[in-house]
Chain A
């Protein structure tokens, strides 16, 4: 099955092209992180736009970076319209290259772009696509562990795709401790804030609930300044968990010295989310249940009435796009 192929007649490359890596051209460097450089380019045969993540190997303290390993490991397995596609993996003498589909925009950019107006149909559409993507991960027993608007990328045709599997891991071995130091702070579920060593897909569902709130508010819902403040901000908004609403919560490692806030009343939530319908509020409440065992999973969320009530979810191609302002070439530069 190893098939060395010698090329068919050479085709002249476009002048602008940088160093060619056989089927892919690297054209423009768009970002550089600690362990990778990202280039934009084309798949030569099809003209398809792609992103190449060039991973530096062997020059770091500990060799191949964990995030790169996880990205290869999990994206090779997953194939879904709402999960970023890993097109190819290849090695050159000193680098590992991951060829990913090019997704020029992300949800954070849209949320911050005040020129763009979101309708409930738009929000519904993005939520649906996020939930479908995460449902596919969870049914393959993979946790994403870093959902946030910045990792929900938007394809040119409007499809939303979950990206950055650098923290993902499989839920394989029931007795094993997992690290609670995952997920970007603002989207971190309460069980993680309490330092739980065992958790489930519910942590991703929490993040989606917080993203849902952010889509409606257009500002981050729970922007804690540090890990301690995050607990305070979270419970101020959603109430402090007690043994009554979350049995055994007090046995979690970091459950102590909490300010007790009451659960928000429905009316308080209505006031905060003035645009939300009752069904939308229902879904958000289900996604942000403090007790992970009561939080709804991806199946229940996808079947929620919110998605069947009017307005219909916007077709992906009709979803709002980034407003075109004076060209800021680096504005969309993503952190790696």
Chain B
């Protein structure tokens, strides 16, 4: 591909045209994310953003359950939703479809289902979402897209907004459909990877389920914007094997899993992220610390809370102390160095500013896959 330097930019009348080259960045550091949020979410709206996000993710979960979509569609949709509000203002105005987060949510689900090859008609997605929200799809509303003020069925207007938002979303994900994987041949869904890794490590049913439950909690966090899916999966496994709870409320059990303790410790000691899973250790550490922090702060709202007893027998204390204990143990882990992402530097990085959708109407926006993926080049030396 051409470098931008030798790309002259012309319009018909010979006037220069602005061209923006957008190189996809699948991941951001925490400080980059908080810098971006500072531009798109007002301080006063932070709480509302989080509450809305929670409600919307709950809704999306119901929708994919009804449509029998695999979990990876949900994961991708949640990734898109969070990515959207890195670059786009959050207004939280539910009655204005132009700013309605639910329109964004439907759009994310639409694009995720396309990207994950689980195609459903937009009309069907809308009808499931609207039904769950108790909205009468056929009620006439004023067509806000038209100055005539004519009325139009709710779902018709919603459809128009969704389609307009889809084009925006495509620009915000920079037309990068790889979900942060280095190559399309690498699976991108944490839950699929997790099951495979557990199998490879010969981890028993109880611990695999524990990992899966943690994965389910972490899926809705912005961690997927920070580190790649295989690193998240390995981080989850390491945490599960460290927690090793004696009791999990499960319907099924594997014979002999109670006597597996020693073997699990051996597995934990033998894990080498780089060698076994091609995961840079720093990124796995980042994941571990993030997940521990998540549980320390939000354990009572987590899915995991429903499956573990309130008091851990071994420790004789509430579960949350177990996560704090682990955090203590891991406090010295080397994690991502963010010195290159200070706020002063972030401010000069135009990629991080709110995306101007009118750019394309003034000039042209070109999209390329990122070379930041080179960070994970070691993944690529699979023999093919």
Could you tell me if A5 and B22 are in contact, using CB atoms closer than 8 angstroms?
Answer: no
A23 within 8 A of B: yes
A202 within 8 A of B: no
Q: Which of A33-41, A83-91, A259-267, A302-310 contacts B (4 or more CB under 8 A)?
A: A83-91
A58 within 8 A of B: yes
Could you tell me if B384 and A140 are in contact, using CB atoms closer than 8 angstroms?
Answer: yes
From A4, A19, A62, give the contact of B19 (CB < 8 A): A4
From B6, B12, B162, B187, give the contact of A63 (CB < 8 A): B162
CB within 8 Å for A3 and B177 given contacts A91-B171, A96-B170:
no
Q: How many residues of A contact B (CB 8 A)?
A: 53
B264 within 8 A of A: no
| Contact residues, B1-38 vs A (CB, 8 A) | 1-2, 4-12, 14-23, 25
Could you tell me if A20 and B21 are in contact, using CB atoms closer than 8 angstroms?
Answer: no
Could you tell me if B115 and A10 are in contact, using CB atoms closer than 8 angstroms?
Answer: no
Could you tell me if A64 and B114 are in contact, using CB atoms closer than 8 angstroms?
Answer: yes
| Contact residues, A79-129 vs B (CB, 8 A) | 87-94, 96
Distance, CA A249 to CA B204, complexed state (A): 36
Could you tell me if B7 and A20 are in contact, using CB atoms closer than 8 angstroms?
Answer: no
Q: How many residues of B contact A (CB 8 A)?
A: 65
Please name all residues of chain A whose beta carbon is closer than 8 Å to the beta carbon of B18 when the two chains form the complex.
Answer: 4-6
Q: Which of B116-124, B147-155, B212-220, B270-278 contacts A (4 or more CB under 8 A)?
A: B116-124
Please name all residues of chain B whose beta carbon is closer than 8 Å to the beta carbon of A23 when the two chains form the complex.
Answer: 2, 7-9, 19
Could you tell me the dominant secondary structure of chain A's interface residues? loop
Could you tell me if B12 and A13 are in contact, using CB atoms closer than 8 angstroms?
Answer: yes
Closest CB in chain A relative to B116 CB, distance in Å: 9
From A44, A58, A90, give the contact of B10 (CB < 8 A): A44
B365 within 8 A of A: yes
Please name all residues of chain B whose beta carbon is closer than 8 Å to the beta carbon of A19 when the two chains form the complex.
Answer: 12
From A2, A44, A61, give the contact of B21 (CB < 8 A): A2
Please name all residues of chain B whose beta carbon is closer than 8 Å to the beta carbon of A94 when the two chains form the complex.
Answer: 167
Q: Which of A67-75, A269-277, A312-320 contacts B (4 or more CB under 8 A)?
A: A67-75
CB within 8 Å for A140 and B119 given contacts A45-B7, A64-B114:
no
Could you tell me if B6 and A45 are in contact, using CB atoms closer than 8 angstroms?
Answer: yes
Could you tell me if A173 and B8 are in contact, using CB atoms closer than 8 angstroms?
Answer: no
B361 within 8 A of A: yes
Could you tell me if B2 and A45 are in contact, using CB atoms closer than 8 angstroms?
Answer: yes
Could you tell me if B360 and A92 are in contact, using CB atoms closer than 8 angstroms?
Answer: yes
Q: Which 4 A-B pairs have the closest CB atoms?
A: A7-B16, A7-B9, A10-B14, A73-B177
Given A72-B177, A74-B184, 13 extra CB contacts under 8 A = A1-B21, A2-B350, A2-B351, A4-B18, A4-B19, A5-B19, A10-B16, A23-B19, A63-B162, A64-B166, A88-B2, A91-B367, A172-B184
Residues of chain A at the chain B interface (Cβ within 8 Å): 1-8, 10-13, 19-23, 43-45, 57-64, 66, 69, 72-74, 76-77, 87-94, 96, 139-142, 169-170, 172-173, 176
- 6 A-B pairs whose Cβ atoms sit less than 8 Å apart in the complex: A58-B166, A63-B122, A64-B167, A96-B167, A140-B183, A170-B185
